[in-house]
Structure 1
Amino acid sequence: MYLTDQHRTIVTSVRTGVDMVEPEALGPLLRRLRLTADMTLEQLATAAGVTDRTLSDLERGASRGARASTIDAIADALGIAAAERSTLAAAARAGRKRGSAATAQALPMPAPFTDFTGRNAELTHIRIRVGSGPVDSACPIVLINGEPGIGKTSLAVQAATQLAPRFPDGQFFVDLRGLAEHPLSPEALLTQLIQAVDPATGSFPPRLADVTAAWRSVSKDKRIIIVLDNAANEAQVRAAMPAHGPALVIVTSRRLLSGLESVERVVLSPLPEQEAVALLTQITADRPAEETELRELARLCAHLPLAIRVAGNRLASRPGKTAGGLLARMSDEQHRLAVLSADESGVSAAFSLSYDQLSDDGRRLFRRLSLAYGSTCGAAIAAVVAPQSVTEAEDALDELIELGLLQEAENNRVKFHDLLRLYAELRLREDDDTHAVSAARARLRNWLLDTAIVAGRWYEPDNTAPQPELRLAVIDSPAAAKAWLTAEAENWFGALSEAAELGEHQRVVDVAESLHWFSDHWLDWGRWHEVFALSSEAASRLCDDRLQATHLGYLSWAHNFCLAEYDTATRFAERAFFFARRAGDRQQMAWARMYQAWALLAQDHHREALEPARESVEHFAAAGDRAGLPQALIGLGNVLRALSRHQEALDAIERALTLVTDPRTAPRDSIAYFTMISARAHAAHVYVHLQQWEKAVDAVTTALQPHETPIPFRHRIRLLEQRAEAYQQLGENTPARDDLETILRLQEAADDDAGAERTRTRLQHLPA
């Protein structure tokens, strides 16, 4: 037998959702009083003589009222004043009244957070998808995924509350116990739903087919919302899907539930900074704090809603505490999780629920991934630290992603935020043998540095040295080398820093040496000065003057070309020259003087740059350095051009061109090619200054002739700009426009917005 019309009226009136948002509801009040008393759920339950589950149900609204004796015991345990005791008793009485129709109040929707903040984009998306069809049309199944503590349940409840007017037949909430040892079975779930939606339903055999048939009959044409919280598997969700009709099902799960079809997926990330700070401000509204303090607290909480709530409640419930004091405690990484894990509803507890679901391999990999130096990593690093094959590592990574303990990043990589990393480190210290951890760390460090050396050597001119055999990485071209070095930059740099701390000085020097040619191909990385600072210090520890000169030169280059810190570049160049001269190394003396001349020229110290530029030419010539001498001549030409000594500048540049094009004096092919391009670009610059437009066009056109090695972006732009200027001065606007449009395409492809805007302006002013 099903519900009568009279029963339906009662159920509908109770389930409209109006009474779910009262600010003085028992749950929020009890939680606030408990936090003010600085008690965990377990402590309060023990003191009051009630179960943890009873308190948990009261706080989250699953149980709306409690017996007077239970409330008295809780009040005694809290030690609250008479006024607060009276308020608590009144809230319990009101809850008992709302819950008097027991069958009608089965599976109540928890009260939404009164300070719910953010997630506007997700709520709008759900509202649009649900409200896009006719009132009686079928609604999508909404699946909310995300890591522990991300706010899946609160978003589901908030969405259900907002959508309640569209679903007047009731709103129901079921905890599927997805992380428990025995999750709710489909049969038990449907039984609960049937009894909640239609209490008058008679008994039926507890077979799944019978329960499913009964549920579909009961839910047919019902405009209801069902929130299935904490789903364990697809079977639970499929069972609760009405066969047809306008019911809305919102599912939350840490698992991806990839097997579900026809669902609207909403994947949550940590809150954006502005929303995270706004939530923290809401929670601590009565405790004024500096915005900078709240912003830093939110950052230390990894913008995770659960962590923000724990931190905010700690601050809000303790009058003697300040935001600055809490910030100081949380700034200590070793103490941060303890601050955010006050009880079983804290951050560590939330993480542990997922961690406990993992296989042994999954747990080991989760712990070991905390050894990675960067914020992201790939399957190869996972295979190194485990250790295991790449295939096994990929399976374990999938398991971690499925349970929300890892997030997918770009290019088949994974990441976890700072709090999950801290939790992984904690479990690593507690669960792993220290010798095994040390061995895993050493494996990772050595693998990263070995691979970095091999990758870097692909950029050494005509390198023919045998390469060590690589494990877990395929680097068979310059493109593959660059892809690995850029993707793993945080990791190999972290390994390099650790090697320096461990006193592996020769190792540090070897890595930096292998990368110095590559560094010219990734100028905007921003950390080359740190790499070469480490190698310069390592060379000093090795007491090797030549190595110090070499790596101080690289350091000067980094400050000059990567950071535009020319004074610093000059100082390091002078130090490099000191050690080179003490070592009697003319080649390094030449490089040091050239670095010095570059830095002085960049500061417009033209006269001061002339002498080191000339010395660089002399030392390279004396050393018989075929690669360095043409570059030094080009550098000298630049200084002379800056001094308006244009013919002398052209003489120096043309001498460089002669050296790189004569087989008897030319350096290796790859160096000769790029030196030729550079020389012609600088010659064209002089021709443009001298208004010798035809010569400028010829110089650039020769430099741009097809070659198997592509011209680097910045060189190509500079050449085309000079030729466009020359064409325009010659009145040949069509080829000038062609060159400018080519420049614009290159800049847009490289996301060079400022350069592209300048080029567009030139095009606008170019006569037709």
Structure 2
Amino acid sequence: MLIVNPGKSVAELTSELADTTTRMDYLDDGERGMKAAFDLSYRRLTKQQARLFRMVALAPGADVSHETLTVSHGAALPPRGVDALVRAHLVEPQDTRGHWRMHDLLRAYVVAKVAADDQLKSDHDNARTRLLSRFSALAAEARAHLRSLPVREPRGSFSGREAALEWLDGERTSLVSATTWAIEPSHARASVRLALHLGEYLGLRRFYDDALVVYRHAIEGARSMGDLRSEGRSWNNLGIALRRTRKLDDAVEAFSRALAAYERVDAGQSAGRAWNNLGRTLVELRRFDEAVEAYKQVGRLSESHAHPLTVAIADNGLGRALTKSGRLDEAMDSLVRAREASRRWGNRYLEGTVINNIGRVRRRTGSLAEALADHDRARAIFVDIGEREGTATSHNERALVLAAMGRFATAVEEHGLALQIFREIGEQHRQAVVANDLGLTLQRMGRHGDAEAKHILALEISQRLGDQYHVDRSLSLLAVARAGAAAGSRRTGRRWV
């Protein structure tokens, strides 16, 4: 293309190739036509093989599994049908057994062919309907397993939580790609439903970039249908992904839009969750007074709408915001309410979280032995339910208490355990927080060089995340560590003079 028209910019070329329905037209100079070569291969296929070829090309994601292809096909796959496509070099097998992929140019060829034929378009549309229905049903079952941490009895298509996760992991790219069909009116409802079933999974695996794609499309699909509840839920889920990627101001906007949608349909319970998420984000922005008001909004919903557990989550968040504001007596009152509610409703994750926060209050009031016991209890709960992020948080909180007790060596070990877990689960922001906490403990031990390395680690992570508050904090702590190291060098030098 650039040979024929060397003055064409790369941006123009990229724009022309971005549309898969017309890409093949641009990849033909009249002599070496790829379309002609593909036409020849296509005509050699049997009718059954040609349809299978189209189903592979039009499936969501970079590759297609045997299960996805079977659902798209609408019946059991013909014997050796895919093998024939492999032998013709039209598809290629992947390392994962029962998965195949196709070159992007072949995919573009099929997309253009289907777009030009109403009968093929109808067949493709029906395949998408079948696939979305199947994906949505399985994703709903998988979500039920993830939400009930852990599942002890088989449910539906999955023998347990690990089996559900295995399916989600195996079909992840296809699931995410299928949710982008929400922008198509005929598939908007099913795609939005699928998107809303994926929230727990994307959060658990920390696939936040995927979540940003999924919920931006879900918002568009929900809007096209005038479905305010689904739009609100999609904004809420988008806000969570934005918060976890440290785009905090954007997250505030997303939660505010969720609340605006809920107000128009009187979705009080969902609004309670959005207020909780908004409050948590405002705490991370250090806008504590606004966070307190957001959490109090949930209490105002409680009589007619909010579930008691949603109120308990709000009391926990309120306690955290009040702790950050130095209002420790009020914080303890709120946290005790949350702890009792979590026990009453049997929510062990919330109970562990609240007990950790109670320990934080006790550390700040100087009740160090009680604080250490709180963090021990919280850690035991998190270990029992397999909650690694909570376990890591408890280790770090124990370290802060131990450091306050002067037990620095043990504190360093606890910080290290927390840092290791956060690294293993891919939680970058918390790695930065713990690295700075560890650096402070090392400074108190006089190990300023080691502290400097930890503050540099925290700085690099926070810069990568675009988290300016923690960038500034890391720079400040780094300066103190370097000053301590310099002072230590001067003292050592004087002894040797």
So what's the TM-score if we normalise by structure 1? 0.50
Q: Equivalent residue of 2:204, what SS?
A: coil
Assess, with a 3 A threshold, how the Cα gap between structure 1 residues 624 and 382 changes in structure 2: closer, same or farther. closer
Take 2:16 and 2:337, find their aligned partners in 1: how far apart are those partners? 65
Q: Equivalent residue of 1:333, what SS?
A: coil
Take 1:518 and 1:751, find their aligned partners in 2: how far apart are those partners? 15
- Give the corresponding residue for 2:490: none
Mapped pair 1:716 → 2:391? yes
- Give the corresponding residue for 2:185: 502
- Give the corresponding residue for 1:450: 137
Mapped pair 1:485 → 2:152? no
Out of 641, 654, 668, the residue aligned to residue 323 of structure 2 is 641
- Give the corresponding residue for 1:41: none
Assess, with a 3 A threshold, how the Cα gap between structure 1 residues 733 and 368 changes in structure 2: closer, same or farther. same
Take 1:587 and 1:758, find their aligned partners in 2: how far apart are those partners? 37
Out of 349, 352, 355, the residue aligned to residue 680 of structure 1 is 355
Take 1:549 and 1:431, find their aligned partners in 2: how far apart are those partners? 37
**Which amino acid is the alignment partner of residue 610 of structure 1?**
V
Take 2:266 and 2:26, find their aligned partners in 1: how far apart are those partners? 59
Assess, with a 3 A threshold, how the Cα gap between structure 1 residues 734 and 400 changes in structure 2: closer, same or farther. farther
Q: Equivalent residue of 1:459, what SS?
A: helix
Mapped pair 1:420 → 2:95? no
- Give the corresponding residue for 2:247: 565
Shift of residue 608, structure 1, vs aligned partner? 2.2
Q: Is residue 631–residue 656 contact of structure 1 (8 Å, CA) maintained in 2?
A: yes
Shift of residue 632, structure 1, vs aligned partner? 0.5
Q: Equivalent residue of 2:96, what SS?
A: coil
Assess, with a 3 A threshold, how the Cα gap between structure 1 residues 608 and 750 changes in structure 2: closer, same or farther. closer
- Give the corresponding residue for 2:417: 742
Structure 1, 578-587 or 368-377: larger mean CA deviation: 578-587
**Which amino acid is the alignment partner of residue 326 of structure 2?**
S
Q: Is residue 684–residue 695 contact of structure 1 (8 Å, CA) maintained in 2?
A: yes
Q: Is residue 499–residue 505 contact of structure 1 (8 Å, CA) maintained in 2?
A: yes
Shift of residue 572, structure 1, vs aligned partner? 4.1
**Which amino acid is the alignment partner of residue 603 of structure 1?**
L
Take 2:427 and 2:277, find their aligned partners in 1: how far apart are those partners? 27
After TM superposition, the structure 1 = structure 2 runs for residues 7-46 of structure 1, keeping only pairs within 5 Å, are none
Q: Is residue 587–residue 623 contact of structure 1 (8 Å, CA) maintained in 2?
A: yes
Residues 171-206 of structure 1: CA deviation (Å, up to 9, x unaligned): xxxxxxxxxxxxxxxxxxxxxxxxxxxxxxxxxxxx
Shift of residue 761, structure 1, vs aligned partner? 6.9
Out of 61, 66, 71, the residue aligned to residue 384 of structure 1 is 71
Take 1:555 and 1:643, find their aligned partners in 2: how far apart are those partners? 28
**Which amino acid is the alignment partner of residue 676 of structure 1?**
E
Take 1:323 and 1:520, find their aligned partners in 2: how far apart are those partners? 37
Identical counterparts, % of pairs:
21
Out of 209, 214, 221, the residue aligned to residue 526 of structure 1 is 209
Structure 1, 327-336 or 607-616: larger mean CA deviation: 327-336
Q: Is residue 382–residue 388 contact of structure 2 (8 Å, CA) maintained in 1?
A: no
Shift of residue 323, structure 1, vs aligned partner? 6.0
Take 2:141 and 2:182, find their aligned partners in 1: how far apart are those partners? 17
After TM superposition, the structure 1 = structure 2 runs for residues 62-81 of structure 1, keeping only pairs within 5 Å, are none
Q: Is residue 457–residue 514 contact of structure 1 (8 Å, CA) maintained in 2?
A: no
Shift of residue 330, structure 1, vs aligned partner? 4.1
Mapped pair 1:514 → 2:197? yes
Q: Equivalent residue of 1:414, what SS?
A: strand
Q: Is residue 744–residue 759 contact of structure 1 (8 Å, CA) maintained in 2?
A: no
Q: Is residue 524–residue 562 contact of structure 1 (8 Å, CA) maintained in 2?
A: no
After TM superposition, the structure 1 = structure 2 runs for residues 72-91 of structure 1, keeping only pairs within 5 Å, are none
Residues 349-373 of structure 1: CA deviation (Å, up to 9, x unaligned): 5556765676665443222212112
**Which amino acid is the alignment partner of residue 384 of structure 1?**
V
Take 1:760 and 1:515, find their aligned partners in 2: how far apart are those partners? 34
- Give the corresponding residue for 2:457: none
**Which amino acid is the alignment partner of residue 58 of structure 2?**
L
- Give the corresponding residue for 2:92: 407
Q: Equivalent residue of 1:526, what SS?
A: helix
Q: Is residue 401–residue 408 contact of structure 1 (8 Å, CA) maintained in 2?
A: yes
Assess, with a 3 A threshold, how the Cα gap between structure 1 residues 711 and 652 changes in structure 2: closer, same or farther. farther
Shift of residue 505, structure 1, vs aligned partner? 5.7
Aligned CA RMSD, in angstroms, stands at: 4.1
- Whose radius of gyration is greater, 1 or 2? 1
**Which amino acid is the alignment partner of residue 482 of structure 1?**
L
Assess, with a 3 A threshold, how the Cα gap between structure 1 residues 525 and 608 changes in structure 2: closer, same or farther. closer
Shift of residue 498, structure 1, vs aligned partner? 2.3
Assess, with a 3 A threshold, how the Cα gap between structure 1 residues 476 and 327 changes in structure 2: closer, same or farther. same
Take 1:420 and 1:591, find their aligned partners in 2: how far apart are those partners? 45
- Give the corresponding residue for 2:463: none
Which structure is higher in helix share? 2
Q: Equivalent residue of 2:146, what SS?
A: coil
- Give the corresponding residue for 2:307: 625
Q: Equivalent residue of 2:89, what SS?
A: coil
Assess, with a 3 A threshold, how the Cα gap between structure 1 residues 439 and 547 changes in structure 2: closer, same or farther. closer
After TM superposition, the structure 1 = structure 2 runs for residues 544-583 of structure 1, keeping only pairs within 5 Å, are 549-559=232-242, 561-578=243-260, 580-581=262-263, 583=265
Q: Equivalent residue of 1:627, what SS?
A: helix
Take 2:231 and 2:126, find their aligned partners in 1: how far apart are those partners? 32
Shift of residue 737, structure 1, vs aligned partner? 4.5
Take 1:722 and 1:707, find their aligned partners in 2: how far apart are those partners? 14
**Which amino acid is the alignment partner of residue 374 of structure 1?**
G
Out of 435, 445, 456, the residue aligned to residue 758 of structure 1 is 435
Take 2:412 and 2:118, find their aligned partners in 1: how far apart are those partners? 65
Shift of residue 713, structure 1, vs aligned partner? 3.2
Q: Equivalent residue of 1:400, what SS?
A: helix
Assess, with a 3 A threshold, how the Cα gap between structure 1 residues 684 and 322 changes in structure 2: closer, same or farther. closer
Assess, with a 3 A threshold, how the Cα gap between structure 1 residues 453 and 590 changes in structure 2: closer, same or farther. closer
After TM superposition, the structure 1 = structure 2 runs for residues 307-322 of structure 1, keeping only pairs within 5 Å, are 311=1, 314-315=3-4
Out of 269, 278, 282, the residue aligned to residue 600 of structure 1 is 282
Assess, with a 3 A threshold, how the Cα gap between structure 1 residues 589 and 761 changes in structure 2: closer, same or farther. closer
**How many corresponding residue pairs?**
440
Shift of residue 645, structure 1, vs aligned partner? 0.9
Q: Is residue 449–residue 492 contact of structure 1 (8 Å, CA) maintained in 2?
A: no
Shift of residue 657, structure 1, vs aligned partner? 1.0
Shift of residue 649, structure 1, vs aligned partner? 1.3
Take 1:567 and 1:764, find their aligned partners in 2: how far apart are those partners? 33
- Give the corresponding residue for 1:43: none
Q: Equivalent residue of 1:704, what SS?
A: helix
Any gaps of 5 or more consecutive residues in structure 1?
A: 1-310
**Which amino acid is the alignment partner of residue 635 of structure 1?**
G
Assess, with a 3 A threshold, how the Cα gap between structure 1 residues 731 and 676 changes in structure 2: closer, same or farther. same
Mapped pair 1:373 → 2:60? yes
Shift of residue 331, structure 1, vs aligned partner? 4.7
**Which amino acid is the alignment partner of residue 415 of structure 1?**
R
Take 2:368 and 2:381, find their aligned partners in 1: how far apart are those partners? 22
Shift of residue 509, structure 1, vs aligned partner? 5.2
Take 2:158 and 2:253, find their aligned partners in 1: how far apart are those partners? 37
Shift of residue 321, structure 1, vs aligned partner? 6.5
- Give the corresponding residue for 2:403: 728
Take 1:333 and 1:360, find their aligned partners in 2: how far apart are those partners? 23
- Give the corresponding residue for 1:397: 82
Q: Is residue 660–residue 676 contact of structure 1 (8 Å, CA) maintained in 2?
A: yes
